[in-house]
Chain A
């Protein structure tokens, strides 16, 4: 049964766009809760800021700077600290580069059709993700206890060349880089694998249909697209690595990185909190620079993907906002 028995009569439309009526004039809702929350937070922040520059009686001085900024300033650019920061950057850069390369190899093995390769890769991940990096670092520094000599030769047969393991692992910088990059490779392998399987299978099919070989397909088609997924967590890993280098000093009792340099000073003068602040300021400065680098790398690998234009760089943002302040748009002008 039809509720409406007469068909809708045809209506003719002009089909032309019309000018809009004046924009809606609306009284917005008041958010009382937000105002209260902002007020409370503001008070807490103000109290903290106040402590930054307040004084307390300490060390026989009735007006000692609570944070001892004078000590922070004195040590911030001391050569031993700056040198420690440089070593930290070196360990981070070398370990990440080696970790990424080995990670790509492990991820390819994990996705291989060869069962043995998959199994070896899986076991590697199982071991290195399943044990603390701190313990691994100490383990590598004791390698000579298990393998006193390292040699190259016929498997189970004579060796052509060999060296004393101790001569290798007394170089703590080397032990740090070996330990951190082997550990990092396990995490990078999973990140790379996630990136590879995130790329639509149709992409490698189209590449194969053109006649590309498997390696060409991986390098030219799949990895460049996987980078979009790989880069953000790799940025995380790099920042994490930069901070993990502080374990090197603790685990190996040397290595010359930033935290060890800080520790060397406060072991002598007991000014622990201000020296920790010195270290944190350096770590913050270095991770901030890394975050900026990550933004540009993500922007590069995001090209051709996504709906909108690429995110603005800092200089573009500044230029755009300058333009806006110079020429305010006319009210009612089309945006």
Chain B
């Protein structure tokens, strides 16, 4: 079996004296959907942000597709990667944020195209076609010349997914993608993610949607206080939890 897409070994992260991650171990295989659950402040979003080096880990080893994130190991020493190489790695990892973070001064189509255009210097017509196809796939082909401010939250988040996909990533990170949405709009975003998972995309999803994790997730990780308390098949872990903290958590969110 080849290298896992994401491998974390005893990952720690501190902000000053505050230790947010206290030893995370996990492996996400290619094509797997891993769901991270847990109360707010448990460190799940911080861990997700470490995967594309938006946060630097303070100890442990974290690698994506067999290469360390943000560092290079030569003769037993870690060397920080140049900005150029960090950016090249990030370009292979898509990320979707809780608050969408679409670029308000660009139209929907330009939002989807700005990654390929600026990062890959790709201004080809084929890429424009791909962007349009992606907007069609998330059900927003008719909105390509509209500005994000004119869209609903659910529509904005679907554009954000298309924007990330247009970079043709090998891994997608989702940071509570439905937490800022009206309850009526959650379904349309989850549908897009469900479709993406069915197409074989490797996904790490921080979510509070227990139903989605049970239905789509291959593995569920329950985090609290900077550590993983329980993990496994979501259809088992999230139905018959063994750890009392997870039992308590599920009784409150369900």
Contact = CB atoms under 8 A, between A and B. Distances in A.
Interface of A: 200, 202-203, 205-214, 216, 220-221, 224-225, 301, 303-307
Interface stretch (B112-120, B129-137, B187-195, B223-231): B112-120
Nearest to A223: B105
Contacts of A200: 101
B99 interface: yes
B99 A202 contact: yes
A135 B217 CA distance: 70
B118 A305 contact: no
A212 B95 CA distance: 13
A305 B101 contact: no
B54 A225 contact: no
Interface in B96-140: 97, 99, 101-107, 114-115, 118-119
Interface stretch (B3-11, B85-93, B199-207, B240-248): B85-93
Contacts of B101: 200, 202-203, 205-206
Interface string B137-161: 0000000000111000000000010
A225 B93 CA distance: 25
A305 B105 contact: yes
A216 B118 contact: yes
Nearest to B146: A304
A210 B104 contact: no
Contacts of B87: 208, 211-213
30 contacts: A202-B99, A202-B101, A205-B97, A205-B101, A206-B97, A206-B101, A207-B103, A208-B54, A208-B87, A209-B93, A209-B95, A210-B90, A210-B91, A210-B118, A210-B163, A210-B164, A212-B119, A213-B87, A214-B83, A220-B118, A221-B103, A221-B114, A224-B105, A225-B103, A304-B147, A304-B148, A305-B104, A305-B105, A305-B149, A306-B149
B63 interface: no
Contacts of B114: 210, 220-221
A303 B147 contact: yes
B167 interface: yes
Nearest to B115: A210
Contact of A209 (B54, B99, B147, B148): B54
Given A208-B90, A210-B90, A304-B105, A202 B54 contact: no
A207 B111 CA distance: 10
A218 B111 CA distance: 16
Nearest to B53: A208
Given A202-B99, A205-B54, A303-B147, A211 B105 contact: no
Given A213-B83, A220-B118, A225 B90 contact: no
B84 interface: yes
Given A202-B101, A205-B97, A206-B97, A304 B91 contact: no
Interface centre among A203, A211, A306 (most CB of B within 10 A): A211
A214 B118 CA distance: 12
B178 interface: no
Contacts of A305: 104-105, 147, 149
Interface in B43-85: 52, 54, 83-84
A203 B52 contact: no
Interface centre among B93, B99, B101 (most CB of A within 10 A): B101
Given A212-B87, A224-B105, A304 B149 contact: yes
A177 B95 CA distance: 48
Nearest to B107: A304
A304 B104 contact: yes
A211 B121 CA distance: 12
Contacts of A208: 54, 87, 90
In the A-B complex, the 3 residue pairs with the closest CB atoms = A211-B91, A304-B147, A206-B101
A203 B147 CA distance: 15
A211 B103 contact: no
Contacts of B84: 213
A306 B149 CA distance: 7
Contact of A304 (B92, B106, B163): B106
Nearest to A224: B105
B115 to A, nearest CB: 4
Contacts of B92: 211
A14 to B, nearest CB: 24
B105 A209 contact: no
B130 to A, nearest CB: 15
Given A202-B97, A206-B95, 9 more contacts: A210-B119, A211-B89, A211-B92, A212-B87, A212-B115, A221-B103, A225-B104, A303-B147, A304-B147
Contacts of A306: 149
Given A303-B105, A304-B105, A212 B118 contact: yes
Nearest to B117: A220
B92 to A, nearest CB: 8
A224 B89 CA distance: 26
Contacts of A225: 103-105
B90 A211 contact: yes
A221 B118 CA distance: 11
B116 to A, nearest CB: 9
Contact of B103 (A203, A209, A213, A216): A203
A99 to B, nearest CB: 24
Contacts of B93: 209
